[in-house]
A and B are shown apart, each in its own frame.
Chain A
Amino acid sequence: MKEINFEHKMGAHCESGTITSLLNHNGLGITEPMVFGLAGNIFFGYFESSNFPFPTFIVRNRPGSIRKNLAKNIGVKFYTKNFRSREKGEKILDELISNEIVTAAQVDFYYMDYMPEWQRAHINVHFVNVIGRNEKDYMLSDSYYSKKSTLSVSKLTKARFAGGFMAPKGFLFYPVFIPDEIDYERAIFKGIKKAAYNMTKLPVPFVGVKGIRKFARKVTDWPKIARDIDHLSHEIMKINILLEDQGTGGAGFRYLYATFLQQAADKLNNDQLNGMSQRMMEIGDSWRNISYFAAKIGKNRDLGPERLKELSEMINDMADQELPFFQELYKIVK
């Protein structure tokens, strides 16, 4: 039996929460909103792909990018490793635990059997910190769970080596170098610039503000591709889950980003950023209204063309709000 002394903390999001806890454990005092913001991870993308059971959207950048962007931006270095062999992947993880190294693992969320059954789905991009092992179980610190948890050795191995879209391939990481000094002013500006660029300037028709508009246009077509009214209701209600409950901190990461902007403003004594953080909070409130609306019409099966048009207009209004917001933010840090 081996359990590393590790302070478990819940986080809004699995990747930023896992990284924040890892960095805190290794001596860097940093908050989750700061990790998220410095990595420039606020985003929007609308996807129609056979890798998903239905059209969907994401509200943060590609999984793994928080670690990569943060490392580039503040100079932290991570050990990272993929594995072809399950046996080797398990052996290396066990060695790391024996050496008292808390290690983050990428897993298929479906296997996290300590989570409520209704939350569990096959998503290959969940992250947990592995903090111990005994003969049968691994001990985990999962940002989505209120306390430390255990998962059988066979389940964690299955979760680490699930195949499919964005297969984890046993991926592990932990920090190996943290700089003594971090130039926060430069890092904050760089993180904001990246986010604002992604939201307004990426020349791809389904990401950033253009992605929000695409979502607004496409949602009215959803009845044509749903199996029946219950399926449509389920997918419409999933808008609420994707914005609120799938590890976003609420309002599709907009509240988390507002908190980052406020913390950045405090750090740099910058009134402009403080004003922008308040605006982002208000934008978040509008996204949350969409969440409530989607839940209500989904539950009531009130999903006729008029109601979906109303939903579409609400989403389009978010594009109208976010375009000038991120354009202004870009000008502030340029």
Chain B
Amino acid sequence: MKEKDFYVDFKPQQLIYYVEKDDASYGPLLSGSYLSKHYLDDYYEKMEKLEKSLREQLNNGEISPVYYFMILQSYGEGDLASRAGVSKRKLKQHFHIKYFAKLRLSQLKKYAEAFDVPVAAMFHLMITRNEDQGKITVEQVETKNSFFSIARLAIKTK
């Protein structure tokens, strides 16, 4: 594809693509992502809907936090099972509250590590009110105690 037909002006996501230059040689071009420039809003809309729907299922006890994080982080079941050190059959059981309730803390910690969240996040989600969105930040601070973390809340300054 010719350079002039390819270039996309989108600074937040720039990539190297290979294109045909004016002199017919092929070479690299730094360009924005076509998909992100045109469809990023759609992606966020879908993710927001997905998160809300999963949270509702979590609230209703229909799914466990393991399933919630697995879907949100787009894990394959085999990959997650391997990271958490369980069989796929066990993993599927842990999608349900009945079996989640029987998890050992050490097993829960492995899941938390795979999701890169504190162990506390497997029991507790922190969200802001709609009207406060973007105004408050939550920073998860790890401590030397791997079972204990601190959530540091801060009001965003301009």
Give the B-binding residues of A (Cβ under 8 A). Answer: 10-12, 17, 32-33, 49-53, 110-111, 116, 118-119, 121-122, 143-144, 146, 154, 158, 162-165, 167, 230-231, 233-234, 237, 240-241, 244-245, 247, 249-251, 255-256, 258-259, 262, 277, 281, 284-285, 288, 291-292, 295, 298-299
> Min CB distance, A53 to chain B, in Å?
5
Bound Cα distance from A162 to B88, whole angstroms = 18
Report whether B1 and A244 are in contact in the complex, using a CB–CB cutoff of 8 Å. Answer: no
Find B73's partner among A122, A244, A262 (CB 8 Å cutoff).
A122
Report whether A230 and B88 are in contact in the complex, using a CB–CB cutoff of 8 Å. Answer: no
Bound Cα distance from A277 to B30, whole angstroms = 21
Report whether B76 and A49 are in contact in the complex, using a CB–CB cutoff of 8 Å. Answer: yes
Q: Which residue of A lies closest to B77 (CB)?
A: A50
Find A284's partner among B1, B36, B77 (CB 8 Å cutoff).
B1
> Min CB distance, B11 to chain A, in Å?
9
With A144-B15, A299-B42 as contacts: A154 and B79 at CB distance below 8 Å: no
Report whether B18 and A255 are in contact in the complex, using a CB–CB cutoff of 8 Å. Answer: yes
Find B19's partner among A49, A143, A255 (CB 8 Å cutoff).
A255
Report whether A116 and B12 are in contact in the complex, using a CB–CB cutoff of 8 Å. Answer: yes
> Min CB distance, B80 to chain A, in Å?
7
Q: Which residues of A contact B33 (CB under 8 A)?
A: 244-245
Q: Which residues of A contact B12 (CB under 8 A)?
A: 116
Bound Cα distance from A150 to B34, whole angstroms = 27
Report whether B27 and A10 are in contact in the complex, using a CB–CB cutoff of 8 Å. Answer: no
Cβ of B17 within 8 Å of any chain A Cβ, yes or no, is yes
Report whether B28 and A12 are in contact in the complex, using a CB–CB cutoff of 8 Å. Answer: yes
With A50-B88, A119-B13, A165-B82 as contacts: A234 and B46 at CB distance below 8 Å: yes
Q: Which residues of B contact A143 (CB under 8 A)?
A: 16
- Mark contacts of B14-56 with chain A using CB atoms, 8 A cut-off: 1 yes-contact digit, 0 otherwise: 1111111000011110100111101110111010011000000
Q: A230-B46, A281-B26 are in contact. List 18 more A-B contacts (CB 8 A).
A: A10-B15, A12-B16, A17-B16, A50-B78, A50-B88, A53-B76, A110-B73, A158-B113, A158-B116, A164-B80, A164-B82, A164-B114, A165-B76, A231-B50, A233-B42, A234-B43, A244-B33, A288-B1
What is the number of contacts between chain A and chain B, taking CB atoms within 8 Å? 138
> Min CB distance, B91 to chain A, in Å?
10
Report whether A165 and B79 are in contact in the complex, using a CB–CB cutoff of 8 Å. Answer: yes
Q: Which residues of A contact B35 (CB under 8 A)?
A: 237, 240-241, 244-245, 291, 295
With A122-B73, A230-B49, A288-B1 as contacts: A249 and B78 at CB distance below 8 Å: no
Report whether A122 and B17 are in contact in the complex, using a CB–CB cutoff of 8 Å. Answer: no
Cβ of B142 within 8 Å of any chain A Cβ, yes or no, is yes
Bound Cα distance from A249 to B15, whole angstroms = 8
Q: Which residues of B contact A291 (CB under 8 A)?
A: 34-35
> Min CB distance, B48 to chain A, in Å?
10
A-B contact list, 25 entries, CB within 8 Å: A10-B16, A17-B16, A50-B77, A50-B79, A51-B76, A52-B79, A53-B74, A110-B116, A116-B12, A122-B75, A143-B16, A158-B113, A162-B83, A165-B78, A167-B82, A244-B35, A245-B35, A255-B17, A255-B18, A259-B27, A262-B25, A262-B26, A291-B34, A295-B39, A299-B42
Cβ of B95 within 8 Å of any chain A Cβ, yes or no, is no
| Residues 52 to 94 of chain B near chain A (Cβ within 8 Å) | 73-83, 85, 88
Bound Cα distance from A143 to B6, whole angstroms = 20
Find B39's partner among A49, A237, A247 (CB 8 Å cutoff).
A237
Q: Which residues of A contact B50 (CB under 8 A)?
A: 230-231
Q: Which residue of B lies closest to A17 (CB)?
A: B16
Report whether B78 and A250 are in contact in the complex, using a CB–CB cutoff of 8 Å. Answer: no
Q: Which residue of A lies closest to B50 (CB)?
A: A230
Report whether A250 and B79 are in contact in the complex, using a CB–CB cutoff of 8 Å. Answer: no
> Min CB distance, B3 to chain A, in Å?
11
Q: Which residue of B lies closest to A284 (CB)?
A: B1
> Min CB distance, A275 to chain B, in Å?
13
> Min CB distance, A330 to chain B, in Å?
22
Report whether B76 and A245 are in contact in the complex, using a CB–CB cutoff of 8 Å. Answer: no
With A244-B35, A295-B35, A299-B39 as contacts: A33 and B78 at CB distance below 8 Å: no
Most chain A C-beta atoms within 10 Å of own C-beta, residue among B15, B38, B43: B15
